[in-house]
Amino acid sequence: MVPQASGWLHRRCARLRRAVRRDRVRARTAGCAAVRRLMPMHVFIRHPPMPSLQGVCYGRLDAPLAPGTFERAADALAAELPDWPIVSSPTTRCLDLARALRAAALADDPGNSVPPTRHGDVLIDARLRELDFGTWEGQRWDALPRAALDAWSQDVAGFAAPGGESFTALIARVRQALAELQTPHIVVTHAGVIRAALHLCGMPLAQAASACIAHLQPIWIHVEADPG
């Protein structure tokens, strides 16, 4: 992640977290769903690390994780997340985390003070899948053609691996998916999708495409209708 992108993201997320905290206080005192003023805002979380795929190009490719991985991650994240509905990529590494987060939220409400219909089940949206790397899927990064990687670095928005999709195409489907979320959500997804969302919240495309997205780190994003 370039330094400018890192600083931009840190400042943006800090402002959004402060705004949400202010609205939570106002909501408690005024008895209203004050988060509506900030719509459309969502909290994005990247899935857990994939040790078995280290050094491998993977987007649509999936792999199992050790038992208990998702439950431990959900327990660690619970205190940082708002009480919002959850939407997830259908990929197992995301969906299992989303379901663990949902289970953790219900476990924290032993008195059933929150009606089950308030959040419902985890919503699954295929448009939140990772970038499709086509024939590159499952290959080691160091085995891919140097010329193709150079071409990608020179055109991060328009380049697509053979049989795959471009970052521009990814942005288009992410924009559609987020436009249909009428209330704030927790979005469990992939690095590429979060980079697309960063662009949709105003980050310049080149910076968004190279942003470093940590695993299991909540990122608060206010998506703009037209980032330009």
**Number of domains forming the structure of the chain:** 1
Is 6 domain-assigned?
no
Q: Which domain holds residue 88?
A: 38-222
Q: What pLDDT sits at residue 157?
A: 94
Q: What pLDDT sits at residue 154?
A: 95
Extract the residue ranges of the chain whose pLDDT is less than 50: 1-6, 10, 13, 16-39, 115-118
- Encoding tokens for residue 51? 């040790």
H helix or E strand, kind and range, residue 88: strand 86-88
Is 109 domain-assigned?
yes
Gap between the Cα atoms of 210 and 86, Å rounded: 26
Is 30 domain-assigned?
no
Is 21 domain-assigned?
no
Is 167 domain-assigned?
yes
Is 14 domain-assigned?
no
Q: What pLDDT sits at residue 228?
A: 53
Helix (H), strand (E), coil (C) string for 11-77: HHHHHHHHHHHHHHHHHHHHCCCHHHHHCCEEEEEECCCCHHHCCECCCCCCCCCCCCHHHHHHHHH
Is 227 domain-assigned?
no
Beta strands 41-46 and 219-222 are antiparallel
Gap between the Cα atoms of 40 and 178, Å rounded: 8
Select from 217, 225, 201 the least CA-distant residue to 8. Answer: 201
CATH number of the CATH domain containing 126: 3.40.50.1240
Is 1 domain-assigned?
no
| pTM recorded for the entire structure | 0.80
